[in-house]
């Protein structure tokens, strides 16, 4: 029986770096990203080029990764700019990244309170940003921020945010439990609904750990259809942390419910590198 491909996306250097007290140097970033490349993860999100000198310098270097795609992070365009004239999008496109991940609001409450724009303007920003990144030739990933809260509040609008990116060429639509408050049974239900409109091979999960369910929620999302899993080394992340890839990766290899159904780019013999990878981060911190 053929197995489906499961993609691993590490965001230690971006979301993990938002942890209070964490401030990675260029040398730190190079050590961590090199370890992740050696492990064999599919994507390493290296930070936000243009947002600070360290991230900008990191994305100006040639890393020559063998396994991983270096991913640049940013946000959808500002309402006052066209996508072509948005300086943040330009810094992402001009960076030495293979792929670009943009976050955009998918909860109407956040659109109103945090962005102060109309729901329609938010959809325009998502659409135009997607088109611009796709046109540049870089692989495009859309992080639907606050998706699960947004879906519970207004499922029609939350879905329209996903479709604004997917219908305009996004390779991945990542469902984000930004507040970390969603429970596994809710993940299963909502992901199953989403996958009726967007194929699971284009869906990802990004879980925070505020209810200590980030790993469980990631596993539930995979069983419900998603094929990209985002997380960090040791679960490092803001507030209570992110999904712990050091827990998830062995589960995908060693539990038959997953190993019989899925294959990873990571080689089985590389499982022995997980301890080294985990301790490297702890030593740096």
Q: How far apart are CA 30 and CA 113, in angstroms?
A: 37
For residue 1, the model assigns a pLDDT of 62
CA separation (Å) from 151 to 154, 155, 216, 258, 276? 5, 4, 20, 27, 39
This prediction has a pTM of 0.96
- For 241-255, b/e burial (b = at least 16 CB within 10 A) is bbbbbbbbbeebbee
Q: What are the distances in angstroms from CA 43 to CA 17, 165, 196, 236, 276?
A: 16, 20, 26, 17, 19
Positive or negative: CA dihedral 111, 177, 130, 196? negative
* Residue-level pLDDT, tens digit, the chain, 285 residues: 689 999 999 999 999 999 999 999 999 999 999 999 999 999 999 999 988 899 999 999 999 899 999 999 999 999 888 999 999 999 999 999 999 999 999 999 999 999 899 999 999 999 999 999 999 999 999 999 999 999 999 999 999 999 999 999 999 999 999 999 999 999 999 999 999 999 999 999 999 999 999 999 999 999 999 999 999 999 999 999 999 999 999 999 999 999 999 999 999 999 999 999 999 999 999
For 281, the token pair is 């981060």
User: What's the pLDDT at 212?
Assistant: 98
Q: Which tokens sit at 182?
A: 């969603």
Query: How many alpha carbons lie under 13 Å from residue 282 in its C-beta half-sphere?
Result: 9
Measured in residues, the chain has a length of: 285
Measure the CA–CA gap between 248 and 246, rounded to whole angstroms: 6
How many Cα atoms within 13 Å fall on the side-chain side of residue 278? 14
What is the reported pLDDT for 269? Answer: 95
Torsion angle, alpha carbons of 276, 278, 279, 280, to 10: 80
């Amino acid at each position: 029986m053929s197995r489906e491909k499961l993609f691993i996306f590490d965001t230690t250097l971006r979301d993990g770096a938002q942890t209070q007290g964490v401030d990675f140097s260029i040398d730190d970033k190079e050590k961590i990203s090199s370890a992740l490349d050696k492990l064999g993860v599919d994507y390493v999100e290296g930070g936000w080029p243009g947002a600070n000198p360290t991230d900008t310098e990191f994305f100006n270097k040639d890393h020559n990764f063998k396994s991983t795609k270096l991913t640049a992070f940013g946000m959808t365009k500002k309402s006052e700019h066209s996508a072509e004239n948005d300086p943040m999008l330009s810094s992402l496109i001009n960076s030495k990244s293979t792929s670009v991940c943009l976050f955009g609001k998918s909860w109407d409450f956040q659109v109103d309170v945090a962005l102060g724009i109309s729901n329609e303007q938010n959809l325009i920003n998502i659409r135009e940003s997607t088109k611009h990144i796709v046109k540049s030739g870089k692989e495009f990933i859309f992080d639907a921020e606050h998706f699960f809260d947004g879906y519970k509040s207004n499922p029609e609008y939350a879905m329209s945010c996903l479709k604004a990116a997917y219908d305009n060429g996004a390779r991945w639509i990542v469902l984000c439990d930004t507040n970390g408050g969603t429970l596994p049974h809710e993940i299963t239900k909502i992901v199953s609904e989403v996958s009726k409109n967007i194929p699971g091979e284009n869906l990802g999960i990004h879980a925070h750990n505020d209810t200590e369910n980030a790993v469980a929620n990631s596993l539930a999302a995979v069983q419900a259809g998603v094929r990209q899993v985002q997380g960090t080394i040791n679960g490092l992340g803001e507030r209570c942390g992110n999904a712990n890839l050091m827990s998830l990766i062995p589960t995908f290899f060693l539990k038959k419910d997953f190993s019989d159904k899925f294959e990873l780019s990571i080689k089985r013999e590389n499982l022995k590198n997980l301890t080294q990878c985990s301790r490297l981060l702890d030593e740096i911190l």
